[in-house]
Each structure stands twice: as C-alpha cells, then as structure tokens.
Amino acid sequence: MSELWARMSLSTYRIAGSVIYPFMGPFLAIRARRGKEDRSRRYERYGYPSADKPAGPLVWFHAASVGESMAVLPLITRVDGLGINTIMTTGTVTSAQVVKDRLPPGTFHQYVPLDLKPAVKRFINHWKPDLAVFTESEIWPMTVLELAAKRIPQVLVNARMSDRSFERWRSAPKLAEALFGNFAHVAAQSQVDAGRFKALGARPISISGNLKVDTDALPCDEEELAQLKITIARRPTWIAVSTHFGEEEIVARVHKKLSATMPGILTVLVPRHPERGDEIATLLKQGGLKVAQRSLNQPLEPDTDIYLGDTIGEMGLFLRLGSVAFIGRSMYSKGGQNPLEPAQTGTAILSGQHVDNFREAYANLIKSGGARLVRDEDNLTENIEYLLKNHDQRGKMIKAARQTVAEMGGALERTLETLDAYVFPLTVKRDLEGLG
C-alpha cells in the first residue's frame, strides 16, 4: 500500500465522519435505550465538556471498559499526586459507574468523544491536554491525528495487539505506520505485543507487563458476602463470569448435567453485559430453571438454580461466592476474557480454548497449574464436577493461580517510569505558570 493510498484512506475516513456526524443522534438514542449510553450525558459523546478546564497542565487518560479502567487508576492517582490535573474518559456506562467513586477527587470524568473530527476537535480544544495516555488497543484514527496535529504527545500503555487486529493492520502497512508512528511511546504487555507494534511502525517500544496484575483484588461488600454465604450454606457452587451471547445456554445445560450428580448445586452466572439480564433470565426460565436476578433484588432461595449477577460493580462479590470459575468469551472464537481477577479472588480457573487476547496470562496460569482449558461443554462439566468434589486439587489450583499473579507483578512501576519522562516536564510547567 502506498503512502498516497494511506493518506487518501485517512482523508476518506475524516470526510465520512463529517458526513455522518449530524446523524449520530438516532444511533446514540438506540444505544441509550439498550443501556449502552448514559442518556443524560450523551452530549459528552459529541465532545461537549462536562466542566470548565482548570488552570495548569492536564493529562488525558482513556480506558475503554471496566478492566482497563481499573488498571489505569493507579497511574491517574500518581499523576494527580504530583499536582497535575487529570481527566479520564471511558467508553461504557459500566466503566463510568465503576470508576465514579474510585477516581481521585480532582479528576474529571467524561465519556470519550466519538471518533469524528467535530467531536474530537471540540474535546481537545476545550481540555487542551498536555499529554494523552491510552490503554491496551485503543487506536482511534481521528483522535490520533487530531492530537498529532496539536503536537500533543500520545502514550499507549498496557498495550496489546490481538491476532485479528494485527492481521488487519498488517494488511495496510502504510496506513498503520501513519497512525502508530504518532505515538511517543508504546509500553507493551509482552514480547509478542511489542514485536507487533514495532512491525506496524510504532517507536519507541518497551515491555512493561500487564497492569491488571498489579491492581488489588476486586473489592466487595463484606456484610453482603457473609449474608449470601450463609444463604448458600453447604451448596456446591460454581461461577460463570463474563459470558457472551450463546454461552448462557451452555451454562444452563452444564448446570442441568451437574444437577444429576450433585443435588443442590448452585450456578452463579455473571454476564459480560449486565443490561442483558432480563433477556438471559427469560432464556433460563424457559429452560425450566429457577432464577434469582440480582438487579431485581430477588432472594436466593434453597431451590434457586441460577443466581444471575446482572448488576454493575459487584464482580468482586460474585467471584467470592464459589471456588471454581469458568471465564466466558472463550467457547467460540472470541478471544477470551481476563483471568487475573478470578485468580486474585481465589478460584480455580476454567476457560474455553479461544483465549488469544490474554495469551500470556493464560500461558503462565496453565504452566503453573492455576488454570485449565476445556475442549467443549462436556469437558467443562467434567472439570467442574471433579474440582468441586476434590478439595485438595481445587486448593492447589487456587494457590498456583495466586502465586502466578504475584510473580507476574511489576508492570505498574515499569509503566510509571515510562510516564515520568512525559509527566515530570509538566510539573516544571505548572510551577512556572504558578510564578507567572
């Protein structure tokens, strides 16, 4: 692909964005009805500010969803502690609600602007960030180009590149170089990720490890946990977390198979998208299962088959209700979900074989014996039953998973060292502006 073609592609993207910009209202309204947009804050998606810009330097942090948001919080806290203003953008309603009470008091929050020139330009012109820090695989062409036009340094932290994304970008090398070449630094999760970003034109690149390893175990309401454990009593319990469309049916069938050999078994089902709760509850009930829906405050009773965790910000609670966890988005070619949170909270980890997006984490966990990959539905059933009935083996997996996470640590300090090179000059700028 020639440089001319790359420039033409980006120009076409820019023009197309300007054309569809006036028609984004109905699109966002539909998403709001589905619970995917905050109706009262839709204006932020057009780049309109939620507050006045404070005086002094400002760093913009962006994280797409809950896991990325939790991972980047320590970085925001570090920068805020240096007296530098910070703003965080997120892309989902769930992530916004989770970080609301966890951000430093002085940090602003907005929903990320649509990657359309009018929205991005409005956002940047208002907040005038001195540094932009993105997480994982957040590569938005118009945002990258607008920041570059303003000569605002862009750093990609906890960077990862899935097989599918790499193949897509590699098919358009000049286009990739035109975008990735704008990053001042890429701190990659692994050697594989680093190699991929380098092949796509990013420089310089360092290997930091996975920031999610260095986050604390997910919190929970201890009183609520104690009460639920009393309610569950001695019932054998397993958890299916971060499930996607189609996997809830698998969970339902596995539960029925387990019920035949383990009377009283309880399944805790936590979908990746809580807004699907009503849909999933209907599906399960149609299959003859008794469901207690957390979002409706339905009580967990002795004959409840499925406890449906369709609330926001309670993953730490759900993960502590059982000692065996199946991690979703993995039974089909979807890329998997983060296994580190279940490892930190103390579960034996099971997953389907499609875990490309978290390859290194799973490789380490499997090597240590902290996780197992299952072939299919029947293999999942067999492993759950075996682990629930074998306390010693389950305990070994839980211990191995926790130890593996501990050994993978250090990403936070390495990432902070990378950011310090860009943040320290801002402390000088802050002091000079204060003298003025």
- Residues belonging to the active site: 68
DSSP strand pairing (108-111 vs 131-135): unpaired
Q: Which of 419, 370, 420, 425 is nearest to 396 (CA)?
A: 370
Look-up of token digits 């604390």: 216
